[in-house]
């Protein structure tokens, strides 16, 4: 089957506890590196990823990306 979508479904970041609660309805898709609905998730529905992003205010210590190497 050909893929007619020109824009892929966006990934939605959700707290990990939602993924645990919805585990019976979801399966992990390794090609997308995200969770999708079990039966129809290949074509419709959300594409969910665990929210592992950290806000800048929550970082502790020195921001090493901007630290000089000298």
pLDDT tens digits for the chain (70 residues)? 555 555 678 888 999 899 999 999 999 989 888 899 998 888 888 899 998 776 655 556 666 666 555 5
Q: Which residues contact 65 (CB under 8 A, 6 or more apart)?
A: none
Position 15 in a domain:
yes
Position 64 in a domain:
no
Report the first-to-last Cα separation within the chain, whole angstroms. Answer: 55
Domain that holds residue 36: 11-52
Cα separation, 61 vs 43, in Å, equals 43
Q: What pairing do the DSSP bridges indicate for beta strands 47-50 and 11-14? A: parallel
What is the length of the chain? Answer: 70
Full-model pTM: 0.61
Position 43 in a domain:
yes
Position 65 in a domain:
no
Output the pLDDT for position 14.
Answer: 92
Q: How many domains does the chain have?
A: 1
Output the pLDDT for position 41.
Answer: 82
Position 44 in a domain:
yes
Output the pLDDT for position 1.
Answer: 53
Position 63 in a domain:
no
Position 20 in a domain:
yes
């Amino acid at each position: 089957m050909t893929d007619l979508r020109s824009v892929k479904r966006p990934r939605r970041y959700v707290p990990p506890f939602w993924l645990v609660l919805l585990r019976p309805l979801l399966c992990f898709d390794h090609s997308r590196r995200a969770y999708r609905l079990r039966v129809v998730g290949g074509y419709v529905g959300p594409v969910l990823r665990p929210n592992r992003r950290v806000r800048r205010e929550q970082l502790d210590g020195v921001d090493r990306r901007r630290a000089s190497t000298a």
